[in-house]
Amino acid sequence: MCGIAGLFETRRLIPPDPACLSAMAAAIAHRGPDDEGVHCGDHWGLANRRLAIIGVASGHQPLSNEDGRVWVTFNGEIYNHRDLRQELQAKGHRFSTASDTEVLVHLYEEVGESLVDSLRGMFAFALVDTASRRLLLARDRLGQKPLFYAISAAGAVAFASELGALRRAPGLPRRIDLQALNDYTALGYIPAPRTIYDGICKLPPASVLSVGFGDSAASLRRYWRPQFEPKTRLGFADAAAQTRELLETAVRRRLESEVPLGAFLSGGLDSTAITALMQRQVATPVQAFTIGFAEPRYDERSYAALAAAHLGVVQETQVAEPRDMGLLQDLVRHCGEPFCDASILPTALLSRFTRSRVTVALSGDGGDELFGGYQRYQVMALHRLLRGLPTSARATAARAILAVLPEGRAQRTRLVTLRRLVAALGAPPLEAYIDFQGIFSRAARAELLTATAREGSRDRLEAWKDILRQGTARDAVERCMELDTLEYLPGDVLTKVDIASMMASLEVRSPFLDHDLVDFVAALPRAYKVGLRQRKRLLTAAVGDLVPPAIARRPKRGFGVPLSEWLRGDLAGTVREMVLWQKDWDSEGFFEPAALRRIAEEHLNGQRDHSFQLWSLLCYRLWIEGVHRNAD
């Protein structure tokens, strides 16, 4: 695992400033505390910060092929690097390191830009072909490793693992992208390819960007997407057995390491299954790490202890207090743009605790999107069942029910869940899904955002329609699962895990994101995964013999924090200050003062729960004051 950065001129044969590349690398030193490397050519330069996991003694980067024609800087892990190495050696390629990174330069010599099709792993890399004067940027299929880039009007390309490193490059834009701002208020994160800055992009998952010296523009292509159709004709028992085999293989691939390795264990089905499969493949007890909270509604230590005892692993537990504004400010800085998934706080604390013992940890991320673990999938299944009723009739009924239901005062209560369910059933499918999942509804955004902020922006719903038109899912519920796999998973979940873990210099590996497993499960009938009565039916059948029955049966809980209570308690002063000093942090005039004041007062007075909305605005303010206005 590493952090990468670089510069590439497409119009001028001018070498980059090594000091600039070193500054970019220094900004991501936390991603790779073990080594730093910079290499410059006549119009390009690559930088790397290395967290040494495989080929520890010999994997210095950037590295090249035998004759120095192909150079690469790499972040991630290639799990099939040994197989690829053998194939390449049989074709005459000579390796000088034990690192998985070196596979890339030799594989490129054989197949060119198609090398990504042969890679199994999580990765983001930049490769320079000095003979053809060409730059290649690539990212893994599910988007586990990030990569940001910008191409100036003068043809200069800059790229890095984090926005903070990219900002060290000269001449980058500083103008806020209004479409990105609208997307953030809708979802709580900014989906690729946009960032908060107009002119700076995220390389989308499963994508390759290619640009050469003298080219007028770069080319961008997607090399993979999950195939939900055509459906596999396989009985449920056989599907469960094959899922088990693929999961065992995915875990085994992720056990290679020259440094200590452990697992996250929350007590949920996903992390328990991964830890169980891990324990079956190693000779010594797995080190499993759990974080607990004082608030009973958010504490899962009892289930994690049950899992640990059942599996025979060595569990280490820490009780944490995630209500830490200093930690939040650090996380906002590392994100480099507004991001408001509050579970990044406990994820960061868990990562820091885990890193004190091991360097690599396996996690259960991706299980909900793959196997249908979110409650919202059941909501959409019910929505599909009621599709025979006219939308107008459902909307009228929903409004009538919502009018008599009390307002919820806190998240994770049955009342709040019921209100969201009723509201979703009263809207068309995609509108229901985006409002059920999002931060500010479309109506709330219209009230909150000023005309200045909304100018020229497009509703995220339209972008979702575009994604689905290019997708393969046909079932209404699977269309939502496909959206989550392509957008929510990389944009929110994996961003959270990457930022929180790499801030602690911890590598996190996710077996559920093995693309062989993803391809297989996507093509199975949706009823195998989720329906009105059960979520994760297939996964439960595949690993049910490995986990305690109480864990196999328990509903998903999530890795949450008590935002409602925080924002009415210790952080109430912060909320009031945010309203009072809006002109300071919102000098652009993007938010309507009356709307901000109303949602703050309603939440503080206990009339309604606006915790997600207030948290998103607080994170935006922290980004404005701590990152945007203080960029080097």
Cis, bond preceding 204 (omega within 30 deg of 0): no
Is the per-residue pLDDT at 369 higher than 80? yes
DSSP state of 371: H
Residue 164 belongs to domain with CATH number: 3.60.20.10
| Domain enclosing residue 615, as ranges | 562-632
Does 211 fall in a domain? yes
Does 190 fall in a domain? no
What's the token pair of residue 21?
Answer: 């590349």
Do residues 167 and 253 share a domain?
A: no
Side chain identity at residue 424, one-letter code: A
Do residues 240 and 207 share a domain?
A: no
Give residue 96's region: left, alpha or beta (phi > 0; psi -120 to 50): alpha
For residues 196 and 337, is the Cβ–Cβ distance under 8 A?
Answer: yes
Side chain identity at residue 345, one-letter code: L
What's the token pair of residue 244?
Answer: 């088990």
For residues 2 and 75, is the Cβ–Cβ distance under 8 A?
Answer: yes
Residue 468 belongs to domain with CATH number: 3.40.50.620
Q: How far apart are CA 482 and CA 502, in angstroms?
A: 27
Q: How far apart are CA 149 and CA 24, in angstroms?
A: 13
Cis, bond preceding 428 (omega within 30 deg of 0): no
For residues 286 and 262, is the Cβ–Cβ distance under 8 A?
Answer: yes
CA end-to-end distance (rounded Å), the chain: 26
For residues 269 and 551, is the Cβ–Cβ distance under 8 A?
Answer: yes
Q: How far apart are CA 125 and CA 77, in angstroms?
A: 11
Query: Using N-to-C axis directions, what is the helix angle for 236-253 and 269-279, rounded to 10°?
Result: 70
What's the token pair of residue 31?
Answer: 């991603």
Q: How far apart are CA 63 and CA 46, in angstroms?
A: 10
Using only C-alpha atoms, the chain has a radius of gyration, in whole angstroms, of 24
Q: What pLDDT does 414 receive?
A: 65
Do residues 618 and 510 share a domain?
A: no
Q: Is the dihedral of CA 376, 392, 471, 178 positive or negative?
A: negative
Q: What pLDDT does 393 receive?
A: 75
For residues 300 and 557, is the Cβ–Cβ distance under 8 A?
Answer: yes
Q: Which residues are bridge partners to 148 per DSSP?
A: 160, 202
Is the per-residue pLDDT at 402 higher than 70? no
Does 438 fall in a domain? yes
Q: What pLDDT does 268 receive?
A: 94
Does 184 fall in a domain? no
The continuous run of DSSP H or E covering 144 comes out as none
Do residues 325 and 199 share a domain?
A: no
Do residues 540 and 617 share a domain?
A: no
Q: How far apart are CA 113 and CA 485, in angstroms?
A: 25
- What is the DSSP track for 480-512? HHHHIIIIIIIIIIHHHHHHHHHTTT-EEE-GG
Do residues 334 and 403 share a domain?
A: yes
Does 185 fall in a domain? no
Domain stop point among 559, 590, 612: 559
Do residues 401 and 476 share a domain?
A: yes
Q: How far apart are CA 178 and CA 82, in angstroms?
A: 46
Query: Using N-to-C axis directions, what is the helix angle for 494-502 and 344-355, rounded to 10°?
Result: 40
Q: What pLDDT does 399 receive?
A: 74
The continuous run of DSSP H or E covering 208 comes out as strand 207-212
Residue 71 backbone dihedrals phi, psi, to 5 degrees = -120, 150
Q: What pLDDT does 403 receive?
A: 72
Q: Is the dihedral of CA 541, 542, 546, 551 positive or negative?
A: negative
Does 482 fall in a domain? yes
In three-state secondary structure terms, 5 is strand
Domain stop point among 559, 580, 602: 559
Q: How far apart are CA 454 and CA 446, in angstroms?
A: 8
Side chain identity at residue 124, one-letter code: A
Do residues 532 and 576 share a domain?
A: no
Side chain identity at residue 212, one-letter code: G
Question: Residue 77's closest CA among 511, 522, 518?
Answer: 511
Tens digit of pLDDT for each residue in 434-477? 877 889 988 899 999 999 999 999 999 999 999 999 999 999 99
For residues 294 and 561, is the Cβ–Cβ distance under 8 A?
Answer: no
In three-state secondary structure terms, 585 is helix
CB atoms < 10 A from the CB of 553, how many? 11
Q: How far apart are CA 282 and CA 275, in angstroms?
A: 11
- What is the DSSP track for 457-468? ---HHHHHHHHH
Tens digit of pLDDT for each residue in 512-561? 999 999 999 999 999 999 998 899 999 999 999 999 999 998 877 777 78
Tens digit of pLDDT for each residue in 261-270? 999 999 999 9
Grade residue 330 by pLDDT with cuts at 50, 70 and 90: very high
- Which residue bears the tokens 């902020």? 453
Q: Give the count of domains, the chain.
A: 3
Do residues 386 and 280 share a domain?
A: yes
Do residues 611 and 498 share a domain?
A: no
Do residues 497 and 611 share a domain?
A: no
Q: How far apart are CA 496 and CA 491, in angstroms?
A: 8
Tens digit of pLDDT for each residue in 585-604? 999 999 999 999 999 999 99
Q: Is the dihedral of CA 443, 463, 498, 277 positive or negative?
A: positive
CB atoms < 10 A from the CB of 456, how many? 7
Q: What pLDDT does 409 receive?
A: 58
What's the token pair of residue 467?
Answer: 């994604």
Percentage of the chain modeled with pLDDT above 70: 97
Q: What pLDDT does 557 receive?
A: 74
Q: How far apart are CA 529 and CA 288, in angstroms?
A: 27
Task: Please provide the size of the chain in residues.
Answer: 632
Do residues 216 and 241 share a domain?
A: no
Greatest alpha-carbon pair distance for the chain in Å reads 75
pLDDT, averaged across the chain: 93
Does 612 fall in a domain? yes
Grade residue 206 by pLDDT with cuts at 50, 70 and 90: very high
Question: Residue 164's closest CA among 332, 327, 326, 325?
Answer: 332
Q: How far apart are CA 275 and CA 536, in angstroms?
A: 17
Q: What pLDDT does 295 receive?
A: 81
Domain stop point among 542, 559, 576: 559
